[in-house]
Amino acid sequence: MDCIFCSIISGKIPARKIHESSKSVAFLDAFPLVKGHTLVIPKTHYSKIQEMTESDNADLFEAVRIVTGKIERLAQSSLVAVHNGKESGQEIPHVHVHVIPRKPEDGAGPVHSMFTKRPKLGNDEFAEIENILKK
């Protein structure tokens, strides 16, 4: 497998690490959206969150919690985002969490601004979705 994140974990590719645990690592994004944009990844290769073990998931999101505190030394707020699969915008098929410092002047806006074709759902459609997701 030719995964850039796995190469960072193995030390084949250098990274500016800001946090590391036995199961996760956080490093500055090489192509940041803003100064301080950080990625937090599990050391085991998983393509999607639901593939992760409970232990790796717990460690990853504890690392996200710690890193978010560090990121907010750069800005008062942060955005925590996961693209879970290619269709969602995931460019590297290795689970990674973006932790991005946010400032009013960064021009990004809320997550809702990403979606220009929002559905207008009726009660029956909400009920159908609810039933599918409850199973």
Q: Is the pLDDT higher at 107 or at 69? A: 69
Instruction: State the DSSP code for 76.
Output: S
Catalytic residues: 96
Say which CATH number the domain at 71 has: 3.30.428.10
Q: What is the pTM (predicted TM-score) of this model?
A: 0.93
Asked whether the predicted pLDDT for residue 128 surpasses 90, the reply is: yes
Per the structure, how many domains does the chain have? 1
Q: Could you tell me where the beta strands, DSSP code E, fall in the chain?
A: 17-20, 24-28, 38-42, 77-82, 97-102
Could you tell me the residue range of the domain that residue 112 belongs to?
Answer: 4-134
Largest CA distance in the chain: 53
pLDDT digits (tens, 9 = 90+) for 90-122: 999 999 999 999 999 998 988 888 888 999 999
Mean pLDDT (the chain) is: 96
